[in-house]
Amino acid sequence: MQGVVVPPKNKVFGFFLCPPPSWLARTDPRDVARVESRTVLVTDRERDAIPPKPPGGGPQQLGNWMSPAAFEQAVQERFPGCMEGRTMYILPFSMGPVGSPLAKVGLQLTDSPYVAASMRIMTRVGPQTFPALARDDFVRCLHSVGQPLPSLGGFGGPLPTLLILGVTDPAGKKRYVAAAFPSACGKTNLAMMTPALPGWRVHCVGDDIAWMKFDAEGDGGRGPFPVGGAGPGGPGTLGFSWPWWPQCDPQPCAHPNSRFCAPANQCPIMDPAWEDPEGVPIDAIIFGGRRPEGVPLVYEAFNWRHGVFVGSAMRSRRLMHDPFAMRPFFGYNAGQYLAHWLAVGEREGARLPRIFHVNWFLRDGAGRFVWPGFGHNARVLAWICSRVAGEDNAETTPVGLVPREDALDLDGLPGVSYGDLFPVSRPFWEKEARELRRYYEENFGEDLPKEVMGELSALEERVKKM
């Protein structure tokens, strides 16, 4: 971080009014949100952390492993004396409402006042966590800015990276939706949108993280928001769909790695249940990516197993595969992670959320977006809610169920063509399936659940019949 002294007279920096004396903290562009090559999983067996590479395979894309001995050596090489001359902060914190069965308690040691301040915003810090500490039921967290200061920082990302929002229709019926997108695909804009569809309202439960478990009645998704703040990226997103954010010029207002965090309870559209220790009932899970061609605006998975396949096949742009938007965050073997999601669907009597995939980023031949996005994404949420309600308003395609032409509200969107929004071409999906098969073989190998490869084969057969 770079500290910049604000002159003694009131000055406006962008949209911030800084009274004297004040400091402006700026993120160094080299301080990225996460450094995936430096994120490691420490287990006794490598197989518990990452799938084995097939002979002749390329670099592993689904995690990095380190033995406990190698990790201990790395810590001992870096941490002795690293905080000398600085204040060490000891922060007992809870991820999630204190007392929630889904919450996790940790103890953070750091010599960064910025980290200490941010932890008080993003978590619940205080003596209410002491009972868990006394039981030795907590996660140890160690952080230092180092000596000398490093050029790259780190990022702790809890799992999984799902936003949660409450969607209320004009009749007053509220449903809760979780969504997982890769970076720069609109998670925070979706969680805090102003719907452009009359009568619809959105409330934010969380913009980035959710932990979901079955409840006592068998609902397959009760999700709390485990952090106490919001931390979206900055460039080119602010002021378009957040009514509580001052308007700014529609130009990139920060570098691509810029970050900030603010207390969630200061957001006027936070859902009344955002701190409910039992979480909220999840009716639908949405996956998505930034795909300029070939992938429809929205489609629904045929069933839970197909939905797990859709999540595993996520990618952004042409090259970046990002299963479940979790590629930087897998805490264990990614093949076992998929197997867990499949097992959830086999639970007897479970009421499972429906699974969807969205793509706000389709472009036409001239490179223009064919969907307006932002508040108009409420139109897609409206169709998703109608499917959850059991309405028969979808058509079957090889990739999933898409809205019938009369089921997606396009009123007031001149120039938006239904046909442009739902491209499903045989050449595109044949290539997509070939690339996905190669990706599975090179990165999951024999740890890929057979059900996922079976869904890929079924997609290939459906595409052949187009």
Give the residue among 83, 105, 87, 86 at the shortest CA–CA distance from 95: 105
DSSP annotation of 33 reads S
* Tens-digit pLDDT profile for residues 387-414: 999 999 999 999 999 999 999 999 999 9
The predicted structure's pLDDT at residue 38: 78
The predicted structure's pLDDT at residue 252: 54
Q: Which residue shows structure tokens 């910049």?
A: 4
Burial class (CB in 10 A: 0-12, 13-18, 19+), 49: buried
The predicted structure's pLDDT at residue 459: 98
Supply the DSSP string of 242-275, one letter for each residue: -TTS----SS--S-TT-B--EEGGG-TTB-TTTT
Q: How far apart, in Å, do the first and last CA atoms of the chain sit?
A: 54
Neighbours of 250 (CB within 10 A): 10
| Residues in Cβ contact with 458 at an 8 Å cutoff, skipping those fewer than 6 apart | none
The predicted structure's pLDDT at residue 452: 98
The predicted structure's pLDDT at residue 235: 32
The pairing of strands 174-180 and 280-288 is parallel
Give the residue among 332, 114, 152, 142 at the shortest CA–CA distance from 231: 114
Q: Identify whether the C-beta of residue 308 lies closer than 8 Å to the C-beta of residue 345.
A: yes
Here the tokens at position 329 are 């965050």
Give the sign of the dihedral formed by CA 439, CA 445, CA 451, CA 453: positive
Fold of 163-441: Phosphoenolpyruvate Carboxykinase; domain 3 (3.90.228)
The predicted structure's pLDDT at residue 85: 83
Q: Identify whether the C-beta of residue 189 lies closer than 8 Å to the C-beta of residue 292.
A: no
* Tens-digit pLDDT profile for residues 78-119: 888 888 888 899 999 999 888 888 889 999 999 988 889 889
Tell me how far CA of residue 47 lies from CA of 62, 71, 160, 340, 399, in angstroms: 12, 17, 21, 16, 32
Which residues make up the CATH 3.90.228.20 domain(s) of the chain?
163-441
Q: Identify whether the C-beta of residue 330 lies closer than 8 Å to the C-beta of residue 341.
A: no
Residues in the chain, pLDDT under 50: 1-16, 148-159, 230-250
